Homo-oligomer: A and B are copies of this chain.
Amino acid sequence: MDRLLLALGLLLALPARAEEGMWTYDGFPSEAVKRAYGFAPTQAWLDSVRLGSVRLAGGCSASFVSPTGLVMTNHHCIRSCVEDLASPQKDLLAAGFFAPEAKDELRCPKVEANQLMEMTDVTARLNTATKGLTGAAFNTTLKKETAKVEAECATGPDVRCDVVTLFNGGKYHLYKYRRFQDVRLAFAPEFPMASFGGDPDNFNFPRFGFDVAFLRVWENGQPARTPHYLPWAKQGVKEGELVFVSGHPGGTERKSTVAELEFQRDVALPYTLLHLAELRGMLREFTQGSPERFRITRAPQRSVENALKALRGRHQALADPALLAQKRKAEAELRTRVMAHSKLKASTVGAWEEVSQALELYRPLLPEYRMKEAGDGFMSELFTLARHLARAAEELPKPNSERLREYTEAQLPSLRQQLLRDAPIPPELEVATLTFSLNRMRETLGADDPFVQRVLGREAPADLARALVTGTKLHNPKVRQALLEGGKAAVEASQDPMLVLARKVDAEMRVVRKRYEDMVEAVLKRNGERLAQARLAVYGTSGYPDATFTLRLNYGVVKGWEQNGRTVAPFTTFGGAWARHTGKDPFKLPDSWLAAQSKVPPETPLDMATTNDIIGGNSGSPMVNKDGHVVGLVFDGNQPSLGGRYAYVPAMNRTVSVNGVGILTGLEHVYGARRLVEELRASQVP
């Protein structure tokens, strides 16, 4: 019986359909692909595609597409860079950008590119450190040991080391990246073309966006040498063709307990959705009638709208009783199997119950945690900078392993970059978002809450926000540098109002953070680990781990789908974009595209749908064919793919990409970006 169960377990651990799975490179199921498609990636193929893959530190994917540092990603992944480089006089976001020569490429102050060089299993080391610990002790020790592991690995500023969680804590791996911090913009289309269709078309298909951008990594004042890159395919893909996506899916919760999913559905997602919806309403109205406000707001507005739609899709997936019924069944099955083994039974005793109890504690704590510590009450870049300065002054003198995670040695290069970058911070938008968030905080925690009273005093949120934003000097990077280098003495001596506020509220923020981390996060993590280990014991590692913004490879085919009795074809064309043009935002094609109508055959493919299993974070991922050659650029998923956070639905879940042929055509005939076209053509392998 036992054997039968285990055999069944292994069978069930295979994905329901071939396309499901976000596989780590060291766990890719080549054999299964071979069985289904007659092609198996070799180790050399895997190494080559892995080293051609790039992570953008802010949360996107990308790829090297030439030996001289050329990087392909989505426009929406580097939108804030274009925004930073723009000005009221030179609206790069609206106009687009192309550097005719390498020397014209413009540095993106916030962008950092990472290339995954090595993966090492450090599970045993971390488990030894936390053995027998629970609650705060477990959390503190795990953090200390993680910081230690990362610090030992990070041997210089061009190395980034992250301990990553796999299988929900069943495994910990150390990921070592080569970091490129001099990243420059080579090409960006007009924003209205990158996001053609705007919010209405977002997460929909048929789609007609040209969400493409090219960057270049530089080293020592020269384009960097990048011998590992993905060549451009000679031929476009066909319907039904096998394709691979290599990228960094940000996060899935496919192995979460039912209690955690219900908590998302009933508490966490509704909270966040309402916050975002109101923010969106505010931002849209804020931009009305002022071209300058429109300019400074369109990028963050687009981000908010994207998040809102994505989370709404997630909520809808969880609100579908069929999904939770399936999860309940899987959980019951796991519990039954665990109970049948005395060792597993002992190792998981109370685990599900502790998860539920932690969530019950989190329920009343969540609004407080989000408002005070997690930023919802202080939506201001200037405040964020002020808090970093205040906290860095407290944290940096401590031993590395005792610091808050954001201030450990491994994180310092990113933190310094964030604090010292010279990018504009539009004050009017700062006042608007800070006012919004202070109002939300007062409503959420109540006007009589002591923390709210400490922040607001007898001020109205709008007045306080304006006083803080106009009074602070922190928009000046030199001022921030002096405070960062001056350490605790400089920070304590400063009378800057934003910094004074950050110092005043920091102690209370830390209290709620600690409460959250010890009572909720640590309990969920420790029990998540116990359950993950039990799951590994029952089902083995033949499955794939939940996404954690680590590099993954998956496979699928070019394919449309059926929805409400309507067939959605897998390709859209340039001709379709021209037909969709109404002349009104967000369906207004830029002049460049209208002018190209005479030069490009209308049947030229533009965007396409495939069955690859992706999620947020995969934006910018290269799509390659069997030869490992670029055939597309992932930039979205369809609406059903949003529920992919919890489960992959083969019949509906689709990845949305810009077609590789469409990219070359656009670069050449719409933008005349000959230098890049030649660079990409030169990379093509005959």
- The answer, yes or no, to whether A266 is at the interface (CB within 8 Å) is yes
Partner of A201, one of B447, B459, B585: B447
Minimum distance in angstroms from A407 CB to a CB of chain B:
32
- The answer, yes or no, to whether A467 is at the interface (CB within 8 Å) is no
0/1 interface trace, chain A 324-337, chain B, CB 8 Å (1 if under):
00000000000000
Minimum distance in angstroms from A437 CB to a CB of chain B:
12
Some 23 contacts from A to B, beta carbons below 8 A apart, are: A197-B447, A199-B443, A201-B447, A204-B446, A204-B447, A262-B321, A266-B318, A270-B270, A270-B315, A273-B274, A273-B277, A274-B274, A274-B277, A274-B312, A277-B281, A278-B281, A282-B282, A283-B285, A309-B443, A459-B582, A459-B584, A460-B582, A463-B584
Which of chain B's residues have a CB closer than 8 A to the CB of A442? Answer: 200
Which of chain B's residues have a CB closer than 8 A to the CB of A204? Answer: 446-447
CA distance A128 to B432 in the complex (A): 61
Q: Are A460 and B584 closer than 8 Å at their CB atoms?
A: yes
**Restricting to A194-223, which residues have a CB under 8 Å from any CB of B?**
197, 199-201, 204, 206
CA distance A279 to B279 in the complex (A): 10
Partner of A285, one of B201, B285, B309, B315: B285
**Restricting to A459-487, which residues have a CB under 8 Å from any CB of B?**
459-460, 463
CA distance A611 to B373 in the complex (A): 36
- The answer, yes or no, to whether A286 is at the interface (CB within 8 Å) is yes
CA distance A278 to B279 in the complex (A): 7
- The answer, yes or no, to whether A280 is at the interface (CB within 8 Å) is yes
Query: In the complex, which of the residues A201, A285, A315, A318 has the most CB atoms of chain B within 10 Å of its own CB atom?
Result: A285
Query: In the complex, which of the residues A262, A270, A286, A458 has the most CB atoms of chain B within 10 Å of its own CB atom?
Result: A270
Q: How many residues of A contact B (CB 8 A)?
A: 46
Which of chain B's residues have a CB closer than 8 A to the CB of A285? Answer: 281-283, 285-286, 432
State the oligomeric state as a number of copies.
Answer: 2
- The answer, yes or no, to whether A319 is at the interface (CB within 8 Å) is yes
Which of chain B's residues have a CB closer than 8 A to the CB of A370? Answer: none
Q: Are B582 and A458 closer than 8 Å at their CB atoms?
A: yes
Minimum distance in angstroms from A166 CB to a CB of chain B:
31
- The answer, yes or no, to whether A254 is at the interface (CB within 8 Å) is no
Which of chain B's residues have a CB closer than 8 A to the CB of A278? Answer: 277-278, 280-281
**Restricting to A416-436, which residues have a CB under 8 Å from any CB of B?**
432, 436
Q: Are B584 and A458 closer than 8 Å at their CB atoms?
A: yes
Minimum distance in angstroms from A296 CB to a CB of chain B:
15
- The answer, yes or no, to whether A267 is at the interface (CB within 8 Å) is yes
Pairs A-B, 8 closest by C-beta atoms = A281-B281, A460-B584, A266-B319, A285-B285, A281-B282, A277-B277, A278-B281, A458-B582
**Restricting to A289-323, which residues have a CB under 8 Å from any CB of B?**
309, 312, 315, 318-319, 321
Which of chain B's residues have a CB closer than 8 A to the CB of A446? Answer: 200, 204
- The answer, yes or no, to whether A234 is at the interface (CB within 8 Å) is no
Query: In the complex, which of the residues A277, A312, A583 has the most CB atoms of chain B within 10 Å of its own CB atom?
Result: A277
**Restricting to A49-91, which residues have a CB under 8 Å from any CB of B?**
none
Which of chain B's residues have a CB closer than 8 A to the CB of A201? Answer: 447
- The answer, yes or no, to whether A398 is at the interface (CB within 8 Å) is no
- The answer, yes or no, to whether A284 is at the interface (CB within 8 Å) is yes
